[in-house]
Structure 1
């Protein structure tokens, strides 16, 4: 049972790691993904130390868990979040959209799901003994285990949504309280500037340019 709980933590943690990493550092995530080619060799070497029989069991376990599908789904969500965040920082026109599309296409090509899946084998090897892997294989080969594997991604998504809602509510309330306790300071502050900030700067620049044209002196 302890092994099952530990695996559950890793299972959900892997999902969140992919999502949160992009949510907080969208462009950086793309840069890290572009380095996957050079990192692939190191990942392959990291699996050399795994006992062949144990690695075979780990691969079977990962297949039962749908680990590769989990990685792919997490990457797709991460890419979409990165796309939305990037859109908020570029001009809202055809040129800006083309830039975002180029980024998204390149991001998808450079993300190596196979490499991440290979790294998961090393992670499982580090956290579980051969006997524990066999026990987990037995569990996840059962009807209940298959249901756990099937429902875990859904639980991850629903948990992520719940965290996002609670986090947004707390952030809004904290900002309102900070403004109330500090009158005259930060009254114009708001959360999620993004596109609005770019449009505001653009509008201000256009206004200043128009004013200069009307009054060159």
Structure 2
């Protein structure tokens, strides 16, 4: 696995540790499905993929890759060469395939159809654009908070293991 692929794989696992409240108890979120493992009803999969298309999931994945690439190239200049051979389209296809299972687990076919109907309406398209802006700004804030947490961990680790 290339250095870039490894970093992206690690980056992709960050939300996997998220938890949700379940009856007052913390419950770990279900891990993402391995592409090709989940069997989704064909009609539901078609509706999910249409929802993902109109909500521009692929473009979101591309922005994530671009952000990681830019950040890595700033902090690890030697990664520039590794990015030249990164299989972006393959990664995006796998990203979408994995998300089909997530949508399948959390939404019924009727809910997917309702979202499609809403997002195809003028008000739904307007809100979808606003949600993209909210998502983009939230990602920046998330990166800033992640950097702060990482810096604190590094500083704490230095204090626990002083140089000889």
TM-score, length-scaled by structure 1: 0.50
Residues 98-137 of structure 1 aligned to structure 2 (within 5 Å) = 99-108=78-87, 112-137=91-116
CA RMSD of aligned residues (A): 3.5
Task: Go from structure 1 to structure 2 and tell me whether the alpha carbon gap of 1:109 and 1:53 turns closer, same or farther (over 3 Å shift).
Answer: closer
Aligned-partner Cα distance in 1 for 2:7–2:147: 23
Task: Give the structure with the higher percent helix.
Answer: 1
Residue 82 of structure 1 pairs with residue 72 of structure 2: yes
Aligned pairs, number: 133
Aligned-partner Cα distance in 2 for 1:163–1:31: 18
Equivalent residue in structure 2 for 1:68, among 58, 69, 76:
58
Aligned-partner Cα distance in 2 for 1:44–1:168: 34
Aligned-partner Cα distance in 1 for 2:55–2:133: 13
Cα deviation, 1:52-106, whole Å, max 9, x if unaligned, reads 111111111111101111111111111222222212xxxxxxxxxxx43211213
Task: Go from structure 1 to structure 2 and tell me whether the alpha carbon gap of 1:27 and 1:52 turns closer, same or farther (over 3 Å shift).
Answer: closer
Q: Which residue is equivalent to 2:134?
A: 155
Residue 58 of structure 1 pairs with residue 58 of structure 2: no
Structure 1: segments with no counterpart, 5+ residues: 1-24, 34-41, 88-98, 179-184, 190-217
Larger relative contact order (Cα-Cα within 8 Å, sequence gap ≥ 6): 1
Asked if the contact 1:66–1:149 (Cα under 8 Å) also holds between the matched residues in 2, the reply is no
Asked if the contact 2:49–2:100 (Cα under 8 Å) also holds between the matched residues in 1, the reply is yes
Task: Give the structure with the higher percent strand.
Answer: 2
Structure 2: segments with no counterpart, 5+ residues: 12-33
Helix, strand or coil for the counterpart of 2:76?
helix
TM-score, length-scaled by structure 2: 0.64
